[in-house]
Each structure stands twice: as structure tokens, then as C-alpha cells.
Amino acid sequence: MNVSCISDHVHYIGLNDRTIHKFEAMWPMPYGVSYNSYLVIGEDKIAVIDGVEAGHAFRHIDHILEITGGRHPDYLVINHMEPDHSGALELLRKTFPAMEIVGNAQTLAMIKGYYGIENGLRQIKDGESIDLGGGVGMDFYLTPMVHWPETMMTYIAADRLLFSGDAFGCFGALCGAVVDKDMDTSHYFPEMVRYYSNIVGKYGQPVQMALKKLSGLEIETICPTHGPVWHDQLSDVVDLYDKLSRYEPLDNGVTIVYGSMYGNTEVLAEEAATALASAGVKNISIHNAAVSDLSYILADVFRHKGLIIASPTYSNSLFPPVRAVMEALENRGMKNRVVGLIGSHTWAQQALKAMTASVEATSMTLVGEPVNLKHAPGADKRAECRVMATALAEAL
Ligand code: FEO
């Protein structure tokens, strides 16, 4: 079996990165990441679709030449300019000087700005096509803000195949196979939720617009820029992206995010968890915001319908690790979640005030009476916590 062969005219020429610690210098990468790139071979012309990160340039060029038998590609299509896909561009251009770089107006402006490349550029518009010969053509669809302004997708009608850029992508390097039908994909789905919530989460509406725009195309295979190529599980992946981009929870579980300097707020977070479990909630994820990485907290908030946030007051504001979570949720315009709050303080009750304002800035819904703790929790505050958590469980 030739695992690089995706369809009649498309080959995989991407690369895995298992040395990266943090994607975008901030998101943990326990399973690495793949930079997916593809070759489309028509009767007359050859196109590279999407590039790779700078450190992988030489092996990328080797892959191209191996599959083309030494022939230079005619086009490089850039569906997304972010440097994890364009970092190797200058070396690619030097190696294949006649290769035209294809993108929309915004892409080409970024190519000039990032790499100083001004010649051999071909600007395409929404709905335009380039013929590769033998009935193979590339149709371009602009899908801005998924998740940069220049993002677009390329469709190969002959193979019913879509190059989707970051959309439908996920963290996790590929382990031998490339297409979903040839691997166990179970560990890629949680990594897709994490990828979406971390990277694309702010852009739910543009994702919805892109899904609508492409809904008329016959698509059998989706080739994203990260993670497996989707064929057999294509409808599962599209459904998941549709749900995530509508901010629809994936289950009726609850995420509890708390900060606690000396354990008092933590006692209430645990009390709330016990009350949720007693009320029959089975899927509860608890994060100490000062210990869990924001990446995993966001993934759980996108996954579960319920959210309880507990924070002490710190320097007349929120405990900073909890504030980072609240800001990330505001930034992503989080909605369709029911939220319970626990605030604590010693002399100035700022945490509850700040959390309430932050939740009200989103479209999430406060449920139950917020718990306001002064000093250490006694039986009364623990009871209030159970009442709030039970109200949340009923709202799921
Ligand atoms: Fe994979 Fe938005 O870059």
C-alpha cells in the first residue's frame, strides 16, 4: 500500500514535528503535530498545496522530487499563510524558481510582507480555477477568518477532494498512515476539540459561513493542514466542527475551574463536584487553574455544557490564573453554557464581582445563587455550594 497516495491525482508530502513543545509558542504538544502538504498531479501541470514549517524545508523538497521523479512543480497554492505552512517558502522558491505562488490578494500581500517575494505570484479571486490538464482543475473558495483573513480552500472536483487549510485539522503527528481509514483515529478527536478551542475558537461565525459556502460541493475527502486526511469519518468530523463553531456543547458534563492559594476555595470546588455527582452528572472535569494548562481547560469548556468557576480575590481583582481563563472565554465569545460562581475573599470581595462581570460580557448564563465566601468555609458555605451545584445540574 502506498500511504502517500490520497486519491487518483493527490499525494501526501507533509511532515511530522515531534520536537515541538508548544504550538504557537503556547499550546502544549504531547503528541506532536503534522504540517500537511499535498501534490496534485494533472496531465500538464503539477501543484503543491500548502507548505511546511521552516525547519522541515529540505525534507519537503525531497518528498516533492521523489514523487514527481525530479520534475519541478508549476504552482504552490497557499491556502493559509501562517508560518507553520509558509515558513519554508523562500527555500522552495529558490529550489523551484519557475513555480508560481498562488493565493488571493491578502495572501500575496502577506507573502511580500513576510518574505519579500514580489515576483512569480498569481492572484486568484473567489470562485476562480486553474486547470492542471487531463480533467484535473483546482477551484478556489475564499473562506476568510478560518482563522486568518487570507484563508481559502481549494477543491479538486475530479477527485471530490477539498484542501481545507486549518479547518478540520487537529493536533497530533501522524503515525505511519495518512488517511483515517488506515488508522485508529480515536485519539485525534479529543485533539481536534483542543485544537479548535485553542486556535479557531474565536472564529465560530466564519467557520459557519465557510461550511455554508461549501455545502453545495460533492466532497468525499478532506485534506486539512494538520492531522489525518478524512474520508471514512468525514461526516463525523464535519458534524464536530459544525457543533463546535455553533458553540454547542458536546455533552452534559461540567467543567470546574478553580484557583486556591491555601485550599479554602478548593474545598468549595470539591463540594460542588460532589453535589454534581450526587445529582447524577457523570462527566465532571476539574482544573486547578494554576496547574492545568489553559489549552486543556478551554477544550473541556468547549466540550461540557456546565461550568463552575471558583476564585479568590487577589490584589483587588481575580486570582491571575482564573483571570486568564475568563479572558480567554470572553475573547472566544463563549456562549450556550450554564455557569455557577464561587468567589472568596478575606477583606475585599472583588473576585465574585469580576467573575460576574466577565460572564455577563459573554452569552453564557448564570445559574443558581453565586457563593460568596469570606475567610474559611464552614457548613453554611458548603451547603450553599451544594444548592448552587444542584441548580446547575438541573439546568444541564
Ligand atoms: Fe496551521 Fe493557522 O496555521
Ligand 1 centroid–CA 225 distance in Å is 7
Q: Which phi and psi angles does 75 have, rounded to 5°?
A: -135, 150
Q: Which atom from ligand 1 is nearest to the alpha carbon of 199?
A: 2
Protein residues whose CB sits closer than 6 Å to any atom of ligand 1: 80, 82, 84-85, 147, 166, 225-226
Task: Give the residue whose CA is nearest to atom 3 of ligand 1.
Answer: 82
At residue 147, the pLDDT reads 82
Ligand 1 centroid–CA 122 distance in Å is 22
pTM of the model: 0.96
Ligand 1 centroid–CA 54 distance in Å is 13
Which positions of the chain have pLDDT values less than 70? Answer: 1-3
Ligand 1 centroid–CA 178 distance in Å is 18
What confidence tens digit (pLDDT) does each residue in 205-226 have? 999 999 999 999 999 999 999 9
Q: Which atom from ligand 1 is nearest to the alpha carbon of 165?
A: 1
Residues near 343 by beta carbon (within 8 Å), at least 6 away in sequence: 310, 311, 312, 313, 349, 351, 352, 353, 355, 370, 371, 372, 373
Pairing of strands 335-345, 317-318: unpaired
User: How far, in Å, CA of 306 to CA of 333, rounded?
Assistant: 16
Q: Which phi and psi angles does 288 have, rounded to 5°?
A: -80, 110
Nearest C-alpha neighbor of 86 from the set 46, 123, 49: 49
Ligand 1 centroid–CA 61 distance in Å is 20
As given in the structure block, the three cell numbers for residue 395 are: 439546568
User: How far, in Å, CA of 309 to CA of 325, rounded?
Assistant: 9
Reduced 3-state DSSP string for the chain: CCCCECCCCEEECCEEECCCCEECCCEECCCCEEECCEEEECCCCEEEECCCCHHHHHHHHHHHHHHHCCCCCCEEECCCCCHHHHCCHHHHHHHCCCCEEEECHHHHHHHHHHHCCCCCEEECCCCCEEEEECCEEEEEEECCCCCCCCCEEEEEHHHCEEEEECCCCCCCCCCCCCEHHHCCCCCHHHHHHHHHHHHHHHHHHHHHHHHHHHCCCCCCEEEECCCCEECCCHHHHHHHHHHHHCCCCCEEEEEEEECCCCCHHHHHHHHHHHHHHHCCCCCEEEEECCCCCHHHHHHHHHHEEEEEEEEEEECCEECHHHHHHHHHHHHCCCEEEEEEEEEEECCCCCHHHHHHHHHHCCEEEECCCCEEEECCCCHHHHHHHHHHHHHHHHHC
79 in Cβ contact with 108 (< 8 Å): no
Q: Which atom from ligand 1 is nearest to the alpha carbon of 151?
A: 2
User: How far, in Å, CA of 148 to CA of 151, rounded?
Assistant: 6
Q: Which atom from ligand 1 is nearest to the alpha carbon of 147?
A: 2
At residue 16, the pLDDT reads 97
Ligand 1 centroid–CA 360 distance in Å is 31
Ligand 1 centroid–CA 56 distance in Å is 15
Q: Which atom from ligand 1 is nearest to the alpha carbon of 148?
A: 2
Nearest C-alpha neighbor of 305 from the set 282, 342, 339, 355: 339
